[in-house]
């Protein structure tokens, strides 16, 4: 069913590569990197399609039933820029493609010594014939790892100093998911890639998982007064559930330094006592912004301030008590 679409995609990728990318690489004498460049074009095209789909499907939701009405949308612009930089650039996909040869090498030499890295299909052979089931198992395992990465980024002051860039948006929208400090992003990418490799996710599955997860995360940041109902909210992260995570004084304080950490499945928050299903659509941001704390308006200011906060957090010997 998807074959004609895949053919079209490959044709566009080849055309872009041959007319624009290859001549430039040739002129600069970079022919040794031509294979990576071809993969780069793929990442770029997938990003472009994702942004198109996001806008086409989610923007109407924001117009239909916004959680908040804004007099002007200026604060959203910086998140649009974050999205384009991240989706069209070096995303986890690219890190994975870059790391794969290295991992293949390590795996190969381990196999020579008689060690076989764990793989779900080896443990449960019937999974090989049920790609949809194995897709969901991998999705759930990665989501579980992401839940804990996210909790740690609230728990450790130096990491929160970076993650606060994401939380400092007072106008949460479909664009806000990619608003992250680049160091926070790199830690996140590394985490995902290590987990993906440790549990042996086949690259084809990984790309599907990344695309599904990213779309759902854009939906969960969308400025829309929407929950999936009593049961639905417990099965899948909704805009109501994730907005609570961004609520001033709600999503970054308390015994766990926040609530609703799961990217896709609220199950993890329910299991580990961090779920809040109250659906109150709170104002978003960080409490000290109400007292005038400035997290910066542009990407550069936000990055500089993030590093400054991290530096201060690392220099403080005793961890600061939760507010
Ligand atoms: Zn968070
Ligand atoms: Zn968020």
- Percent pLDDT > 70 in the chain is 91
209-245: pLDDT as tens digits: 888 888 999 999 999 999 999 999 999 999 999 999 9
pTM over 0.75? The answer is yes
What are the CA-CA distances from residue 227 to residues 231, 240, 241 (Å)?
A: 10, 5, 7
Predicted pLDDT of residue 323: 44
Q: Which ligand gives the minimal distance to the CA of 243?
A: 2
What is the DSSP track for 163-191? HHHHHT-SS--TTGGG---HHHHHHHHHH
Ligand 1 centroid to Cα of residue 268, in Å, is 15
Residue 259 CA to residue 269 CA, distance in Å, equals 7
149: left (phi over 0), alpha (psi -120 to 50) or beta: alpha
Ligand 1 centroid to Cα of residue 269, in Å, is 13
Ligand 2 centroid to Cα of residue 66, in Å, is 17
What are the CA-CA distances from residue 43 to residues 13, 21, 49, 277, 303 (Å)?
A: 10, 14, 10, 36, 25
Neighbour-count burial for 161-175, b at 16+ CB within 10 Å, e otherwise: bbbbbbbbbbbbbbb
Q: Which residues contact 15 (CB under 8 A, 6 or more apart)?
A: none
- Percent pLDDT > 90 in the chain is 50
Ligand 2 centroid to Cα of residue 240, in Å, is 12
Is the per-residue pLDDT at 167 higher than 90? yes
Ligand 2 centroid to Cα of residue 117, in Å, is 34
Residue 72 CA to residue 55 CA, distance in Å, equals 19
Ligand 1 centroid to Cα of residue 283, in Å, is 15
């Amino acid at each position: 069913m998807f074959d004609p679409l895949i053919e079209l995609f490959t044709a566009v990728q080849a055309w872009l590569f041959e007319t624009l990318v290859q001549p430039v690489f040739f002129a600069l004498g970079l022919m040794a990197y031509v294979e990576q460049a071809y993969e780069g074009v793929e990442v770029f095209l997938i990003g472009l399609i994702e942004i198109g789909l996001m806008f086409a499907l989610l923007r109407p939701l924001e117009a239909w039933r916004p959680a908040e009405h804004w007099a002007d949308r200026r604060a959203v612009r910086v998140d649009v820029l974050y999205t384009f930089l991240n989706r069209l650039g070096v995303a986890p996909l690219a890190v994975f493609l870059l790391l794969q040869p290295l991992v293949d090498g390590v795996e190969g030499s381990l196999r020579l010594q008689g060690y076989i890295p764990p793989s779900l299909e080896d443990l449960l052979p019937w999974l090989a014939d049920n790609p949809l089931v194995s897709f969901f198992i991998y999705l759930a395992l990665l989501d579980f790892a992401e839940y804990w990465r996210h909790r740690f980024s609230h728990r450790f002051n130096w990491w929160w100093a970076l993650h606060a860039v994401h939380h400092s948006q007072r106008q949460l929208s479909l664009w806000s998911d990619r608003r992250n400090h680049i160091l926070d992003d790199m830690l996140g990418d590394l985490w995902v890639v290590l987990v993906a490799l440790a549990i042996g996710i086949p690259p084809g599955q990984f790309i599907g998982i990344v695309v599904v997860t990213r779309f759902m995360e854009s939906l969960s940041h969308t400025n829309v007064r929407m929950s999936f109902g009593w049961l639905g909210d417990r099965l899948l992260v909704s805009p109501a559930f994730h907005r609570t995570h961004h609520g001033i004084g709600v999503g970054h304080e308390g015994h766990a330094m926040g609530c609703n950490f799961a990217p896709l499945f609220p199950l993890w928050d329910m299991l580990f006592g961090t779920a809040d299903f109250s659906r109150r659509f709170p104002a978003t941001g960080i409490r000290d912004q109400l007292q005038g704390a400035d997290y910066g308006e542009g990407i550069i200011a936000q990055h500089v301030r993030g590093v400054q906060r991290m530096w201060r957090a690392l220099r403080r010997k005793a961890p600061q008590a939760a507010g």
